[in-house]
Each structure stands twice: as structure tokens, then as C-alpha cells.
Amino acid sequence: MSNTKQVKEFSTPTTNVVQIESSVALKIIKHATDYYPTLVSGPLLGVDKDETLTVSHSFPYSIYNESIEGSSFKLKTNQRFQNELLELSKNTGVAAQFIGWYQCSVSSNFFNNHIIDSLLSLQRSNPNAILIIHDSSKINTNSVLSLRAFRLSEAFLNVYKAANNSTNKFSTALLLENNLTHENIFEELPVSIHNSHLVSLMLHQLLSENESSLNTQDYNQIYKNNDIVSNSFDSLSLNNSKYSTGIIDKLFDSVDSYHYDLNNYNYYQRQLSRELQKIQQWKAKSKIENANRVKNGQKEIDLENDWKSIYKLPNEPQRFTNLLVSASITGFCKDLEVNTTSELIKSFAIQKGLDI
């Protein structure tokens, strides 16, 4: 999908709401659950109309070695697969275009180069492209549904555009200029699930069957828990510690890479301050010399510019990795916080209930 020969400019997306058909949501979750904990992915087909981007079809990519999120997007075989799909869909009268991918991930482990690169090239050809992230560990361990839609934010695209023109990509100055922090690499779009009328009808039918006798639905809910429409209250049981252990592992890995990156940066800062110090000394010396030169009627040394020919400032390292890792870490921490908060609420409730 990359369009390297003819570089198109990024244009502003026209859609700001994502609507997923219930059949697509089901397919994504089924694919993810069948292969859990492998991180599966696949292409999404759909249409954009006014402000809504409708995801009407999804297909699973075949499983190779998808240990890293986004690594499957650029595979040649998958791109061929995608093109075949589009052609077939056209043949069967489905008017849909390729609008992005879905990708399973653990918490916010999806901030990596593969994802950003793929999205960059896709958003260039289709500004409305999205990435749907499904947290498969959340639904498998804590039965919490998590489907989120993302798109690279305007701030990020601005920095990327500016970075392409200058030698130093992703410098602190650029980030500051465009207000890009680790919090806003992606723009999250609200996701809604849409039912076709037939699905709505079927659900109503199921519900009315339940309501035909007194209290049956409530009874089912308490007693049997086996129909589609009722709530199973899975969320009320205590959380599975597997989930937090998984996240903590990832968190530690990220903190390690954060440190590694930070060391580089610290090294640069030390270099810089050393050089700056030297320049200061040189300037002080030059001042005295200038005073002498004035006395002797010679040309003064330009304090602001001449040091540049003598000293060279170190190049600032890219802030890109730092951004991504910070974003991951923040995501992990948020998930952990939410997880522990709900765990505490439940624990205290049980404690009260047991009277201990």
C-alpha cells in the first residue's frame, strides 16, 4: 500500500466516528480468541460517509510469526491477500475499500515502528484510515471488551512532515513547536457497534421469548446465565492475576528500553554542557582580547558567531523512541491503575460481605 514513488501530502481526515458492524466485531474477537495469546491481525474493509467511517468487513491474516504488533501489515503475502480480497469483494457487489487494519495487542504494547510506518503510508493514501486495537488479554482474563480505534494525530503528522525536511528528525524543539507529547501520538476515535435490522429483530425476538413468562429473564440471569441477551456478570468476579503479571512484565521491558534511550540522551546532554562551558570560557577570553584589540584599533571578534568555526555542538539524538516508549509505559500504568482500582472495589465489597 505504500506509495513511495509519488509522495502524496497528508490531507485532513473527514471522518471522526468509527462504526463497526456487529458481524465484524464478532469476527475480530473470534479470530483473537481462537489464537490467543498469539497477536493476530487482519485488514478491514469499509466505506466513509460524511463523518462516519463504517467498517463493514474484516478478514483474518494468516498466522506467521506475529510476535510484534504491526509486523504483519507490510508482509508481501498479506498485501497480495488484501488485493485479492478487494477484487473479490468488487466482484460480489460489495462496494468497500481498504480502510485499515485490526491488531490484537496487550494493553498499549502497540506503540512501535511497524505500526507507525504502516499507518503513515496508509494515511497518506487514505486520510481516513484507522487502526483498530483489540486487547485480547483483557477479554480473556478479565472479560472486558476493548475495541479502540486509532489514527496518527495531526500533531504527529506535522512533526513528521517537518522532520522530513530537516536533518534532525524528532528534535525536542520540533516536538515543542507542534505540541506533540507521548500522550497524543495517536488520536483515539469513538467506536460504536452497529446492528443490521435483522440482528436487532433477532435480539428483540430472543428478549420477548424470555419475557413471556413471569420473571424468566431475571431468573435466567440469576440462575442459568445461558442466553445471549442477559448479563453474565463476569466482571464482578475477582480479577485474574495473569493479566496484571502480563502487563508488569511488559512494563519492565519498556522501562528498560526507556532507560537505554535515556542514557543516550543524558550522554548528549553532558557533551552539550561540556561544549557550552568551553564556549563560555572562549567567550570570556575573547572579551578580554576584544578590549585589547579596541585599544590597538584592531577588528573585534564576533562573540555570537565566531565560536561556531571553533567548536561543534553535538547532534541531538532523536526523541522518537522516547516518545513511543513513554506512550507504552503510560498506557501500561493506566491499565494497571484501572485494573487495581476495580480489584480494590471488589475486594472491599467481598470483605464487607463476608464480614471479616
Partner 1 sequence: MKSDILHLVKPSSLASTALSPLTVNVVIQPTALFSIFEASLRIQEGNSRVIGTLLGSRSDDNSNIDIRDAYIVQHNEQGDNVTVNEYNHKTFLNIYKKTSPKIMIVGWFSTISSLDIYSSLINNFYLDGNYSIPIVHLTLDSIDPSSNLPSVPKFDTYISTMVGKSAVNDQNSTVFVPIPHTLNYSSQEKNLLSWVSKAKDQSNSSVLLPSGQSTELINLSNDLKDVDDLIDKVSNYVSQVVNGEIEGDDEVGKYLLSNIPASPNNLGISKIEHLFNSHIQDTLMLEYLASSIKTQIELSAKLTTVV
Q: How many CB atoms lie within 10 A of CB 166?
A: 11
19 phi/psi in degrees, rounded to 5: -120, 120
Using the structure block, give the residue that is written with the C-alpha cell 460481605: 353
Question: 172-179: which pairs have CB atoms within 8 A and are 24 or more residues apart?
Answer: 172/316, 172/319, 175/319, 175/323, 179/155
Is position 176 an interface residue for partner 1 (rule: CB under 8 A)?
yes
Beta carbon nearer to partner 1, 3 or 237: 237
Nearest approach, Cβ of residue 326 and partner 1 (Å):
5
Nearest approach, Cβ of residue 324 and partner 1 (Å):
12
Nearest approach, Cβ of residue 128 and partner 1 (Å):
18
Is position 59 an interface residue for partner 1 (rule: CB under 8 A)?
yes
| Three cell numbers, residue 225 | 446465565
Strands 17-21 and 41-49: unpaired
Among 166, 196, 263, 298, binds partner 1 (CB under 8 A): 196
Is position 92 an interface residue for partner 1 (rule: CB under 8 A)?
yes
* H or E element, residue 45: strand 41-49
Taking phi over 0 as left and psi of -120 to 50 as alpha, with beta for the rest, 331 belongs to: alpha
Q: Taking contact as CB under 8 A, which single stretch among the options 68-76, 114-122, 186-194, 298-306 is the one that binds partner 1?
A: 186-194
CA angle 91, 124, 165 (to 5 degrees): 160
Nearest approach, Cβ of residue 139 and partner 1 (Å):
5
Q: Give how many residues touch partner 1 by CB under 8 A.
A: 110
Is position 76 an interface residue for partner 1 (rule: CB under 8 A)?
no
Beta carbon nearer to partner 1, 160 or 332: 332
Nearest approach, Cβ of residue 344 and partner 1 (Å):
6
Nearest approach, Cβ of residue 127 and partner 1 (Å):
20
Is position 313 an interface residue for partner 1 (rule: CB under 8 A)?
no
Is position 162 an interface residue for partner 1 (rule: CB under 8 A)?
no
Q: Is the dihedral of CA 294, 298, 299, 305 positive or negative?
A: negative
CA angle 103, 109, 115 (to 5 degrees): 50
Among 3, 211, 242, 248, binds partner 1 (CB under 8 A): 248
8 Å CB contact between 105 and 133: yes
Taking phi over 0 as left and psi of -120 to 50 as alpha, with beta for the rest, 100 belongs to: left
Going by C-alpha positions, the residue among 161, 95, 86, 162 that lies closest to residue 123 is: 161
Is position 276 an interface residue for partner 1 (rule: CB under 8 A)?
no
Beta carbon nearer to partner 1, 7 or 354: 354
Is position 351 an interface residue for partner 1 (rule: CB under 8 A)?
yes
Among 51, 84, 300, 302, binds partner 1 (CB under 8 A): 84
Binding mask 10-39 toward partner 1 (x if CB under 8 A, else -) reads: ---------x-xxx-xxx-xx-xx------
Is position 104 an interface residue for partner 1 (rule: CB under 8 A)?
no
| Three cell numbers, residue 252 | 519492565
At how many degrees (to 10) do helices 320-354 and 241-296 cross?
140
Is position 297 an interface residue for partner 1 (rule: CB under 8 A)?
no
Among 142, 153, 171, 178, binds partner 1 (CB under 8 A): 142
Q: How many CB atoms lie within 10 A of CB 18?
A: 28
222 phi/psi in degrees, rounded to 5: -80, -40
Is position 211 an interface residue for partner 1 (rule: CB under 8 A)?
no
Nearest approach, Cβ of residue 226 and partner 1 (Å):
9
Three-state secondary structure call for residue 66: coil
Is position 249 an interface residue for partner 1 (rule: CB under 8 A)?
no
Is position 234 an interface residue for partner 1 (rule: CB under 8 A)?
yes
Among 124, 148, 151, 250, binds partner 1 (CB under 8 A): 148
